[in-house]
Structure formats: structure tokens, C-alpha cells
Amino acid sequence: MLKIKEPVKILSIVPGTKYLGTALFYGSELRDWGIKVLNAKGTKEKIKKAKEIISDFIEKYEPQVLAVKKLDLKKSSKNLNSLVRKIKEFAKRKGLTVCQMKLSEIKESILPQRRMNKKELAQIMVSRFPELLFDFKKEEKNRNRYYERMFEAVALGFSSFYKVDGKIKLNKRYGKK
């Protein structure tokens, strides 16, 4: 009998000290995306809020993989590094496979041998996922780059799909509630 392989579900997160960029993929299909506000004071409270956000995604979508942007240690803070470390530990305790990629690796996987900035990366994601156009248009009007992490999360999830698809062994059945 022919077994049909279900697509892997990937939750991708690009963390910041105020916001989390998020994207959820079912295979290479984008299912959910957005910015989640870490409206808490202090690192411990922000970590708690991030865990709540991730728990909500796990409960709603049952992802098998958590893709997290690998931080540039020269450009990140002690608090942000702590947040990422705790997110990864939490995801592993929840049984998720953790995948990390640097922004340069994400860009390289999307368009090899071509340099691009974050706006160009967002444009490429919009061309691949037209449903992001509304958010892209809003971002163009913003003085501060509010949606930047979300577009990075989409690119991270898309890139991670090709990195992990077929390489992880999953014990639980997909789509089970």
C-alpha cells in the first residue's frame, strides 16, 4: 500500500526584544503570519509571554519544527540572547525539532549568489506569497520597520522547509487534535 507523506509543519520565529515575527508553514504553504507583541516588562516576563505565544501556536497547529533566526552575537543583546535560548529550550521540551539559520543563510537559500537587503527579501516573499502584499504596503508607509521581523519569519520558515523536509523523523500523526 502506498503511504502518503504529510507535509511537515514549521513554526518560524524571528525574535526581538519588543516583537516576535511569526510564520506557520504546512509544507511549503504559508498558513499563518504576523507580529506578536511582547508586552511585558523585564526579560523574565518577556520570556514568559514568548512561551505563551509559542504554546498557542503549538496547541492550534501542532508544528513539528520550530525555526528560529540565529542571532548575530555582535549585534544582539544579552537579554535577546537569553530570550532565544529559553525559546529553544521550551520548544525542545515540547518535542519540537529546532532549526536555526542566520539571515545570510536564509537569503542565500532563497536567491543564491545574489546580495539583497531586508526590503528586497520582503519583496521576494510577497512575490512568492501574494497574501503578504497588504502587510508589505503597510510596511512601506511605516517610518519604523514594524513588519520586518514578520517577513524574515516567512523567509525563515520557507527556507527551513527545504532544510528539514524529509530529514526529520516524526513519531506523531499529523493533523490530530
Q: Provide the CATH number for the domain around residue 109.
A: 3.30.420.10
Whether residue 172 lies inside any domain: the answer is: no
123-161 pLDDT, tens digit each: 999 999 999 999 999 998 888 888 999 999 999 999 998
Flag whether 169 is in a domain.
no
pLDDT tens-digit profile of 70-99? Answer: 998 777 888 899 999 999 999 999 999 999
Structural domain boundaries enclosing 88: 9-140+148-164
pTM of the model as a whole? 0.88
Domain count, the chain: 1
Q: Which amino acid is at 123?
A: Q
Q: Do the domain assignments include residue 3?
A: no
pLDDT of residue 40: 85
The b-or-e profile of 40-63 (16+ CB within 10 A means b, else e) is eeebeebbebbbebbeebbeebbb
